[in-house]
Amino acid sequence: MKLPLLSLLSFACMMSYTNVSVAQSTEASLIEQGEYLSKAGDCIACHTKDGGDKYAGGKAVASPFGAIYSTNITPSVEYGIGSYSYKEFEQALRHGIRADGEFLYPAMPYPDYQKLTDEDTKALYAYFMKGIQPVEKANTKTALGFPFNQRWGIRFWNWAATDDGVFVEDTKKSKEYNRGAYLIQGLGHCGSCHTPRGMLYQEKAYDHSGDDFLSGADVGIWYAPDLRAGKNGSLESWSEQDFVDYFATGRNKHSGVTGEMTDVIQYSLSHLSKDDLRAMAVYLKGQAGNKPSKLASSKASEQTTNVLNLAKVDIDSGARLYIDNCGACHFTDGAGASHVFPQLVGNSLVNADNPQGLIHVILAGSRLPSTADAPEAIEMPGFGWRLDDEEVAKLATFIRDSWGNKAKSVNADEVKKIRSTIAVDILNKSAP
């Protein structure tokens, strides 16, 4: 009698042991999935302040109404979201409602995150509750002026300025296209920078059914270009692989990343799988718009190249400045070198209506991020120590009007304004 009972018992033990380990391994894989999604959502970018503890908040997120401080989203019960139930987390992430019922400012991109599936929201919850360590650090209070300090007002904003949010699959398109659409519209919150804002500071469209979606917008002094492939021409010539290279390394045949996009590559996109990056490329390539292309004609390009190669004594001073300072890396044909020196012809930063980002790069230089696939953080030196405002203006005007580029001229006052925002040690960092 004893023997079968024992073996039955040990069998039962084994069973429950396997159940526990199955549960553990599903939990571990859920946490792992959540960690991956946290990268796709770039939660770290806003919820970690420079030099601060990961996810402990305190970073000022700029808005036209003033600085909004991100919060501690570690599982600290006292200071973070340690006591959040799944429902409360889901409400914060997808609907901008805090556990205490107050409304979050849309500096937290919940209008984009509302596209997330339940499954992904659960994985993120698992990661933030069990995959990271609590940090016992109190939040910095956001103190906007009246009326923006009245959080209840956000209820009306939500009603007027966001759409109903659920991700809509396009059943006529491939699985890959739809995966890209889901990542770009939702977790990637690409529209929070690349979509122009309306009167209420809302993104003018939350998916490609609106023409404004990802059609380019100013972000501080930088310009987040039009991503609707064919629309402004410069992305028209990018292949799927060019997009994948840019996302994984911040560089490709045409361009090198600068400004606000650098961190997006460094902390988010360069950590995603190649399948996901390709899906995003497929989706973007599928959005070709209908505006005429601004791509440089090869004739105009040849003309500038000839002028620079001949370098006659009476050459325009902008062209002279280009030969002396820039030609060594970007070459007389403005084509640069694939994956190292970006192409200036048809470049969206060079051709942006707002020249401030270009001026900033000339004055302060720029550094490509180091990523797993391209660890070399190649740098462009700054020229702020060497060129005065008038010279930078002439140079910028020259490259915005050469090789077929067509953008308005730049004046010394615009340069002066940007110079005043850059710290002196950065302006002098490339000086001998």
Find the binder of ligand HEC among 126, 280, 359, 410 (CB under 6 A): 280
Number of residues that bind ligand HEC (CB under 6 A): 74
Query: Judged by CB, which is closer to ligand HEC: 303, or 338?
Result: 338
Find the binder of ligand HEC among 181, 227, 229, 319 (CB under 6 A): 227
**Of the listed pieces 10-18, 68-76, 197-205, 402-410, which binds ligand HEC according to CB under 6 A?**
68-76
For residue 374, state whether it binds ligand HEC (rule: CB under 6 A).
no
CB 104 within 8 A of CB 92: yes
For residue 219, state whether it binds ligand HEC (rule: CB under 6 A).
yes
Per-residue interface string for the shown chain with ligand HEC, residues 376-405, x marking contact by CB under 6 A: --x-xx-x-----------x---x------
- As to burial, measured by CB atoms within 10 angstroms (0-12 exposed, 13-18 middle, 19+ buried), residue 141 is exposed
For residue 190, state whether it binds ligand HEC (rule: CB under 6 A).
yes
CB 185 within 8 A of CB 191: yes
Helices (H) and strands (E) in the chain, counts: 19, 6
Query: Judged by CB, which is closer to ligand HEC: 163, or 263?
Result: 263
**One-character DSSP codes across 173-208:** S-HHHHHHHHHHHTTT-THHHHSPB-TTS-BS-SST
Find the binder of ligand HEC among 75, 188, 318, 334 (CB under 6 A): 188
Interatomic CA distance for residues 392 and 382, integer angstroms? 11
Query: Judged by CB, which is closer to ligand HEC: 24, or 271?
Result: 271
CA angle 124, 130, 135 (to 5 degrees): 100
Smallest gap from Cβ 348 to ligand HEC, in A, equals: 3
Smallest gap from Cβ 244 to ligand HEC, in A, equals: 10
Do the strands 68-69 and 379-380 form a parallel or antiparallel pair, or are they unpaired?
unpaired
CA atoms within 13 A on the CB side of 261: 25
CA atoms within 13 A on the CB side of 292: 2
Taking residue 178's Cβ as centre, other Cβ atoms within 10 Å add up to 18
Question: Could you tell me which residues are beta bridge partners of residue 341?
Answer: 337
Q: Nearest Cα to 358, choosing from 349, 346, 348?
A: 349
**Of the listed pieces 204-212, 286-294, 346-354, 424-432, which binds ligand HEC according to CB under 6 A?**
346-354
Instruction: Show contacts with ligand HEC in window 153-182 (CB under 6 A).
Output: none
For residue 67, state whether it binds ligand HEC (rule: CB under 6 A).
no
For residue 60, state whether it binds ligand HEC (rule: CB under 6 A).
no
Q: Nearest Cα to 385, choosing from 333, 345, 423?
A: 423
Smallest gap from Cβ 321 to ligand HEC, in A, equals: 7
**Of the listed pieces 162-170, 200-208, 219-227, 291-299, which binds ligand HEC according to CB under 6 A?**
219-227
Find the binder of ligand HEC among 30, 244, 261, 418 (CB under 6 A): 261
- Sequence-ordered alpha helix ranges (H) in 289-407: 298-310, 317-325, 327-330, 348-351, 356-364, 389-400
**Of the listed pieces 28-36, 287-295, 363-371, 419-427, which binds ligand HEC according to CB under 6 A?**
363-371
- Sequence-ordered alpha helix ranges (H) in 186-297: 191-194, 240-249, 261-263, 274-285
Smallest gap from Cβ 313 to ligand HEC, in A, equals: 21
Q: Which residues, 6+ apart, have CB-to-CB distance to 295 below 8 Å?
A: 233, 234, 236, 237, 346, 404
Find the binder of ligand HEC among 260, 315, 323, 416 (CB under 6 A): 260
Query: Judged by CB, which is closer to ligand HEC: 148, or 163?
Result: 148
Find the binder of ligand HEC among 30, 48, 58, 70 (CB under 6 A): 70
